[in-house]
Amino acid sequence: MKALLLAGGLGTRIREETEFRPKPMVEVGGRPILWHIMKHLSRYGIKDFIIATGYKSNMIKEYFLNYEPLGNDFTISLGDRDSLQIHGEHDESDWTVTVAFTGDNTETGGRVLKAAKYLEPGEDFFLTYGDGLANVNIDALREKHAKSQKMATITTVKPTSRFGVLELDSQGNVTAFQEKPQLESWINIGFMILNPTALSYFTEDCVLESGPLAALARDNSLSSYQHEGFWQPMDTLRESKMLNDLWDSGERPWLN
């Protein structure tokens, strides 16, 4: 199964970082968040990646083009670039990475459609966003998708409220206070599996959630895998710091 990773957005809510690089290249523990997502998937045997890029695409291209020499010792004759000799290996030596530029301003659904030419014909594919980490059990997700017999399966969580919640009586007196409780509604966090027939719902200018996913839901062709483990998006500088603090503590739940 190939994985298609959406890595082309502007990341305006974390402008302190994305002014200089695309959001999926913002680092956690010295590695781009994109790498962490790929590392998690590789543990479940998904090692063939398509990265749909846009904003500052060249930074993603350069990262993977230079992955071998930057990750290993090497010897080179400065007058002969072809003389480059890499010493040693790394754990990602069996990854295959296709970097596909899908336009600077293309919407998420359009990026999927533009990169779809690199998918295997007739084979289900994995799809997710390039800015959130989770310890989703990919084997269980695959099993749920197969049993559902739907065109697509998304991973959902019940998020934690950003704010504390008050309970009031009829006179407006505060009777209870909950510090950032878990909400009852489910949200889509990515980590999706799609049958290629679902691509018929995509257009080159569509937004993934409000376009094809909403249409698949209306047609009773969308299933969900309910994830109750770790999930953390990286939409703000505070969340970036939170993920780096987890890495520094050694906890790293998305890789454990």
pLDDT recorded at residue 82? 83
pLDDT recorded at residue 93? 85
DSSP 163: S
State the Cα–Cα distance between residues 92 and 16, nearest whole angstrom: 30
State the Cα–Cα distance between residues 214 and 224, nearest whole angstrom: 13
pLDDT recorded at residue 73? 87
Mean pLDDT of the chain: 90
Walk me through the domains of the chain, giving residue ranges and CATH numbers.
2-249 (3.90.550.10)
Global confidence as pTM: 0.88
pLDDT recorded at residue 181? 59
pLDDT for residue 163 is more than 70: no
Residue 68 confidence class, pLDDT cut points 50, 70, 90: confident
pLDDT recorded at residue 175? 73
pLDDT for residue 160 is more than 80: no
pLDDT recorded at residue 51? 98
Which residue blocks in 73-137 are alpha helix, DSSP H? 108-115
State the Cα–Cα distance between residues 142 and 114, nearest whole angstrom: 24
What's the token pair of residue 51?
């990265």
pLDDT recorded at residue 189? 95
Cβ contact 115:126 at 8 Å = no
